[in-house]
Structure 1
Amino acid sequence: MGMISLRNAGHRAGELLFSNLNLVIGDGDHVGLVAPNGRGKTTLLQGMAGLTELSEGEITRSRGLAIGYVPQEVPETGLRQTVTEFIGSALGAATLDSEGWRVDVVMEEFSIPPDLREKRLGELSGGWQRMALLARCWVTQPDALLMDEPTNHLDLGRIAMLERWLSYAAKTLPVIIASHDRAFLDATTNRTLFLRPSEQVYLPLAYSAARAELDQVDAAAEAQRERDLKYANQLRKQAAKLTNVGINSGSDLLVVKSKQLRDRAEKIETQVQEVHRDRTGLVKLGNSGADARVMMGFENFPVLTPDGKPLFTIDKLHIFQGDRIVLLGRNGTGKSQFMRIVTEALGGKPVPGLKLSPQIASGYLDQALAWLPLDPSPLDYILHRFDEGDRRSIALLAGAGFPPDRQSKPIRTMSLGQRARLALLALRLAKPNFYLLDEPTNHLDIPGQEQLEDDIREQGATTVLVTHDRAFLRAIGTRFLLIERRKLVEVDGPEEFLAEMAEG
């Protein structure tokens, strides 16, 4: 029986990330590990894998338990290896000599095409790098799986494949998945651990059901906290009255009684639990508004590859102010090329068949954050790009989750989650009324995703979106456009397409 046990586990990295973690993860337990960016998920996974030491508590594993760990990114040395070499390097020279066939088997299992297997990982997309990481882990035949953001860079088809694979290949194993993909967690887990600085919450439910129960628990705790503090305040008021009466009347008994009431109030206030709130930098987007009814129009519009090969055509399409359009389509049908062409048009390049309202003020967010410079610090970037002044820029960055000591360090030293928050802040300060979003949730934690959803819905800005995040597209979309048979057609909703992708 495979088992990972944690006793009073915790970790500090300057600040307390998590503590008092006590749980046992056994065969068939598929645990979703949920917390905002920077709150210790990767540290905990590495601790369970034996790759790092936690600062508090103990982690024990079943005797002989072989743990497979899937990190977020391919290590720098792996990028220079071919896919076959990278996967085989997990076995060691002796095993590779006698059982090299296992590498071919696992590449077939993860549907890695033969023409990619001898290419260097650094030449491949983030999605294929992710599949190579999964295959490298699985080729070792582990008894337990630890997965850190396994759906990053994967399209809907490969996410669905991974969900199916976990349901049969890893069905009986202990599995811990750190992820911000809510739909993926719902499809693959049967338990959820909400990682918090103090008291941890571990529920025998998949993410959405666990989150609903957690919200109820937190709401009840908040209500009890308010009642306790109200009662303590009443005791202090009574104590103040008794003190005044006691002093005026010279009654030592009343003074003693007053002190007892104050002591009771202080004890209640000391015992009141601060209700947990996820502390993450949130950026509230806006909408600068427009009077135009039609923001963008297409007619007899071909979408081509950069070298001129046809992908699909748009016979006629109007994007109206306030539309929130989700672009659907299988991988390779032309979604990225459509976004590229529209981005170029918004940047001023004439594109035949595409008309833009002169009132468009566009804001663009792409999954690679390629437009974000890496050399300046966040403070220098905001100061030089936007006319906000020193004090306001510092305050804006602090509100986005960058304390003063982080504001002066180069952007390249920041995590992808931190870069995503900085990109959102820049998007806010650009004051757009038209959002072009290409995989905007790739590096956002769940609080950040929910904030972005709320902002887009509440502000009413026109939005064109490409995403593999099913929860996000369901929450945002008001119109759905599907690329099929080299045409762009409008469909009633995303569910039929998502079901087809889930079936493979």
Structure 2
Amino acid sequence: MNLVNLESVSHAYGPKPLLSEVSLGVLAGERIGVVGRNGGGKTTLISLVAGAVKPDSGRVTHTRGLRVGFLAQRDLLDPAAAVRDIVLGDRPEHEWAGDQAVREILANLLGDIDLSARAGELSGGERRRTALAKLLIDEHDLIILDEPTNHLDIEAIAWLADHLSARKSALLVVTHDRWFLDAVSTRTWEVVDGRVERYEGGYAAYVLAKAERVRIAAVTEERRQNLMRKEIAWLRRGPPARTSKPKFRIEAAQALIANEPPARDTVELVKFASARLGKTVFDLEDVTLHAGGPAEGPLVLDRCTWQFGPGDRIGLIGVNGSGKSSVLRLLSSSVAPDSGRMVQGKTVKLAHLSQELMELDQNRRVLEVVEEVRKYVKVGKREWTASQLLERLGFKGDAQWKVIGDLSGGERRRLQFLRLIMDEPNVLLLDEPTNDLDIETLNELEDLLDGWPGTLLVVSHDRYFLERVADRCVALLGDGKLAFLPGGVDEYLQRRSQGAALTARAGSGATETAEPGQQAAAPVEASGLSAKEERDLRKELSRLERQLDKFGQREGTIHAKMAETGSDYAALASLDAELKQIAADKELVELEWLEIAERLGG
């Protein structure tokens, strides 16, 4: 059954047409992800579907009694209202407190927010989560979400994806988070040039299907050109000869990427990075760091020792408030450690993309402020002009001559990143670089970073971007250490989940009293392990983690040696053999780690 129908719908803002003669529908239970460039009409489309905006022409019809939940980009909350009243309305406490689904939503979205606080006292992220919780607690036939993952950390995004997938209602969601799109959507709509192109599957299927469409279009155009050339030749010769019709075989979508090389030539990049950086980038030795200064605010690092080497591409993960930005500020020397020592390599030329937007002369133009840094820059083996880089990151044509005062937040973010790249740094610290970027621009940014040699440390809640640009992940888990994650984001979520389960068991305080004359047995946890067994396994887990850290450092050292070895093929072969042996040993340790982690998880 169709819940919503759009018939020949057109809509424009000012002189710019966003949608032209669009006809489509939303079926009951359908889960649709909407993608497209910023300003291309995604928000307009879902606002029309929700009934929040009337079309200039055409018709939008809802099935009778349709219950629509719409989360717009701007949250219209009463600043004087308490969070509890906004989210729970007039529900009696015994009713919502006894509802497991409501408790789960509150715990995952509002666990750190005082329910008695007024909306006007909340931060932008807290207001966003409050509005999302209010929507999810109610029942709807169709849920429409505009950028729901904004201000959510990786854990909350994973929970939201699971929650939406389990609901029976239809879903229409606009987001630039590609992992989230894959997790929740079974169809994809692309808003482009006033049309809505429809694809089966989530983001990954959409990319493959779109590539196949492009290939077919290219083959069709090539065929048309060939036929035209033949026609001209025949006309010149006289009567045309008979020719057999060419046959074109349509390959499966996977064949498009079967022969694609890896996104990055890691050895080549490490070679460039080593030549430019030397052997030392950052060495942390027994560093202690609090987020608010010495002994103030939350503890971020506690006597932590870590090395960042040339060519390292690291994703830094942690919940909001865990201190990720503080670590970046430490490495950029914006803050000093409480104790311990941080050594920065002599050849380091650092660029730090913080979450705060830089201040620029509002009356200057985009191309001018980029060219004042440098007119040409070399990324990998290719040289780019400032104008070419601007075009790659979405400033096409006249957009390069925009006045800075007229730029949106996303455009300022892109401009900030470009100015950093143009200065040719060899170390990049990126704090939430994907904020306000559309998927097409994210693809260009990732491609640009693929060819960039140097050390990269990136903080992002965009799981797809993180796994795409980083070669390994480390996490702040609240114990004052940087934990190496061989399993990436999946391992991080697993370890966080295990930690929460242990905390819950410890908080329950459940014990049994032994019968008189009977010796009390060692307490047994929910995992089936005694307290002693669990302690022993955790020690073993820590030992294995240290071993994995050493493997990672050894791999970095060998990569650097391979870069220095040059054309000495015998030495390269020896180093490559050592690298393969380390990889094999590392895999065994990782399997052992996972086996123990599963036992502890019960």
TM range (shorter): 0.7 to 0.9
**Cα distance change, pair 139–53 in 1 and its aligned pair in 2 (3 A):** same
Other structure's SS at 1:232 match: helix
Q: Please report how far the alpha carbon of residue 82 of structure 1 lies from its aligned counterpart in structure 2 after TM superposition.
A: 4.8
Other structure's SS at 1:424 match: helix
Other structure's SS at 1:110 match: helix
* Equivalent residue number for residue 34 of structure 1: 35
* Equivalent residue number for residue 486 of structure 1: 480
**Cα distance change, pair 133–233 in 1 and its aligned pair in 2 (3 A):** farther
* Equivalent residue number for residue 328 of structure 2: 339
Structure 1 unaligned blocks of 5 or more = 243-253, 259-285
Q: Please report how far the alpha carbon of residue 348 of structure 1 lies from its aligned counterpart in structure 2 after TM superposition.
A: 10
AA aligned opposite 2:135 = C
Please give the residue correspondences for 1:91-130 in structure 2 after superposition, counting only pairs within 5 Å. Answer: 109-111=105-107, 112-113=110-111, 115-121=113-119, 123-130=121-128
Q: 1:142 aligns with which of 132, 140, 143?
A: 140
**Cα distance change, pair 177–372 in 1 and its aligned pair in 2 (3 A):** farther
* In 1: Cα distance, 2:432 partner to 2:497 partner: 19
Please give the residue correspondences for 1:43-122 in structure 2 after superposition, counting only pairs within 5 Å. Answer: 43-75=44-76, 78=77, 80-82=79-81, 84=83, 87=86, 109-111=105-107, 112-113=110-111, 115-121=113-119
* In 1: Cα distance, 2:193 partner to 2:169 partner: 28
> Is 2:170 aligned against 1:167?
no
Q: 1:467 aligns with which of 460, 481, 506?
A: 460
Q: Please report how far the alpha carbon of residue 12 of structure 1 lies from its aligned counterpart in structure 2 after TM superposition.
A: 3.7
* Equivalent residue number for residue 228 of structure 2: 232
AA aligned opposite 1:109 = I
* Equivalent residue number for residue 304 of structure 1: 290
Q: Please report how far the alpha carbon of residue 35 of structure 1 lies from its aligned counterpart in structure 2 after TM superposition.
A: 1.0
* In 1: Cα distance, 2:370 partner to 2:112 partner: 49
**Cα distance change, pair 380–119 in 1 and its aligned pair in 2 (3 A):** farther
Other structure's SS at 1:294 match: coil
**Cα distance change, pair 473–380 in 1 and its aligned pair in 2 (3 A):** closer
* Equivalent residue number for residue 401 of structure 1: 394
Q: Contact 2:2/2:27 (CA < 8 Å) preserved in 1?
A: yes
**Cα distance change, pair 124–53 in 1 and its aligned pair in 2 (3 A):** same
Q: Report Cα offsets for 1:389-424 as digits up to 9, x if no partner.
A: 9xx877765564345665565545433332232223
Superposed CA RMSD: 3.6
**Cα distance change, pair 381–110 in 1 and its aligned pair in 2 (3 A):** farther
**Cα distance change, pair 138–406 in 1 and its aligned pair in 2 (3 A):** same
AA aligned opposite 2:484 = E
Q: Contact 1:2/1:65 (CA < 8 Å) preserved in 2?
A: no
Q: Please report how far the alpha carbon of residue 173 of structure 1 lies from its aligned counterpart in structure 2 after TM superposition.
A: 1.3
* Equivalent residue number for residue 350 of structure 2: 362
Deviates more, 1:476-485 or 1:103-112: 103-112
Q: Contact 2:357/2:416 (CA < 8 Å) preserved in 1?
A: no
Q: Contact 1:369/1:420 (CA < 8 Å) preserved in 2?
A: no
Other structure's SS at 1:459 match: coil
AA aligned opposite 2:189 = L
**Cα distance change, pair 179–372 in 1 and its aligned pair in 2 (3 A):** farther
* In 2: Cα distance, 1:497 partner to 1:400 partner: 31
Q: 1:435 aligns with which of 410, 428, 439?
A: 428
Please give the residue correspondences for 1:367-378 in structure 2 after superposition, counting only pairs within 5 Å. Answer: 368-373=355-360, 375-378=362-365
Q: TM-score, normalised by structure 1?
A: 0.77
* In 2: Cα distance, 1:204 partner to 1:380 partner: 39
* Equivalent residue number for residue 262 of structure 1: none
* In 2: Cα distance, 1:40 partner to 1:3 partner: 21
* Equivalent residue number for residue 561 of structure 2: none
Please give the residue correspondences for 1:384-399 in structure 2 after superposition, counting only pairs within 5 Å. Answer: 386=373, 388=375, 397=390
* In 1: Cα distance, 2:315 partner to 2:56 partner: 45
* In 1: Cα distance, 2:359 partner to 2:484 partner: 33
Once the two structures are aligned, what percentage of the paired residues are identical?
28
Deviates more, 1:37-46 or 1:118-127: 118-127
Q: Contact 1:300/1:315 (CA < 8 Å) preserved in 2?
A: yes
Deviates more, 1:223-232 or 1:101-110: 101-110
* Equivalent residue number for residue 8 of structure 2: 8
* Equivalent residue number for residue 448 of structure 2: 455
Deviates more, 1:114-123 or 1:322-331: 114-123
**Cα distance change, pair 407–453 in 1 and its aligned pair in 2 (3 A):** closer
Q: Please report how far the alpha carbon of residue 31 of structure 1 lies from its aligned counterpart in structure 2 after TM superposition.
A: 0.4
Deviates more, 1:55-64 or 1:400-409: 400-409
Q: Please report how far the alpha carbon of residue 134 of structure 1 lies from its aligned counterpart in structure 2 after TM superposition.
A: 0.9
Q: Report Cα offsets for 1:222-250 as digits up to 9, x if no partner.
A: 211221123224434554x37xxxxxxxx
* In 1: Cα distance, 2:326 partner to 2:119 partner: 23
* In 2: Cα distance, 1:303 partner to 1:126 partner: 27
AA aligned opposite 1:456 = L
* In 1: Cα distance, 2:121 partner to 2:401 partner: 33
**Cα distance change, pair 82–7 in 1 and its aligned pair in 2 (3 A):** same
> Is 2:22 aligned against 1:21?
yes
AA aligned opposite 1:336 = S
Deviates more, 1:21-30 or 1:371-380: 371-380
* In 2: Cα distance, 1:416 partner to 1:428 partner: 19
* In 1: Cα distance, 2:497 partner to 2:54 partner: 39
Q: Please report how far the alpha carbon of residue 344 of structure 1 lies from its aligned counterpart in structure 2 after TM superposition.
A: 3.2
> Is 2:492 aligned against 1:497?
yes
Q: Report Cα offsets for 1:68-121 as digits up to 9, x if no partner.
A: 21122335xx48445528836xx9xxxx6x658699886873332475334344
Q: Contact 1:82/1:117 (CA < 8 Å) preserved in 2?
A: no
Q: Contact 2:33/2:175 (CA < 8 Å) preserved in 1?
A: yes
Q: Report Cα offsets for 1:169-218 as digits up to 9, x if no partner.
A: xx221210011111111111111112222653323312212321221122
Deviates more, 1:304-313 or 1:134-143: 134-143
* Equivalent residue number for residue 317 of structure 1: 306
**Cα distance change, pair 115–387 in 1 and its aligned pair in 2 (3 A):** closer
* Equivalent residue number for residue 180 of structure 1: 176
**Cα distance change, pair 467–502 in 1 and its aligned pair in 2 (3 A):** farther
Q: Contact 2:288/2:338 (CA < 8 Å) preserved in 1?
A: no
Deviates more, 1:152-161 or 1:453-462: 453-462
**Cα distance change, pair 463–139 in 1 and its aligned pair in 2 (3 A):** same
**Cα distance change, pair 237–359 in 1 and its aligned pair in 2 (3 A):** farther
Q: Please report how far the alpha carbon of residue 61 of structure 1 lies from its aligned counterpart in structure 2 after TM superposition.
A: 1.0
Q: TM-score, normalised by structure 2?
A: 0.66
Deviates more, 1:329-338 or 1:369-378: 369-378
**Cα distance change, pair 81–462 in 1 and its aligned pair in 2 (3 A):** farther
* Equivalent residue number for residue 265 of structure 1: none
* In 1: Cα distance, 2:318 partner to 2:126 partner: 19
Other structure's SS at 1:200 match: strand
Q: Please report how far the alpha carbon of residue 147 of structure 1 lies from its aligned counterpart in structure 2 after TM superposition.
A: 0.5
Q: Please report how far the alpha carbon of residue 486 of structure 1 lies from its aligned counterpart in structure 2 after TM superposition.
A: 2.1
Deviates more, 1:140-149 or 1:492-501: 492-501
How many aligned residue pairs are there? 448
Structure 2 unaligned blocks of 5 or more = 241-268, 377-384, 501-602
Q: Contact 1:438/1:465 (CA < 8 Å) preserved in 2?
A: yes
* In 2: Cα distance, 1:443 partner to 1:31 partner: 21
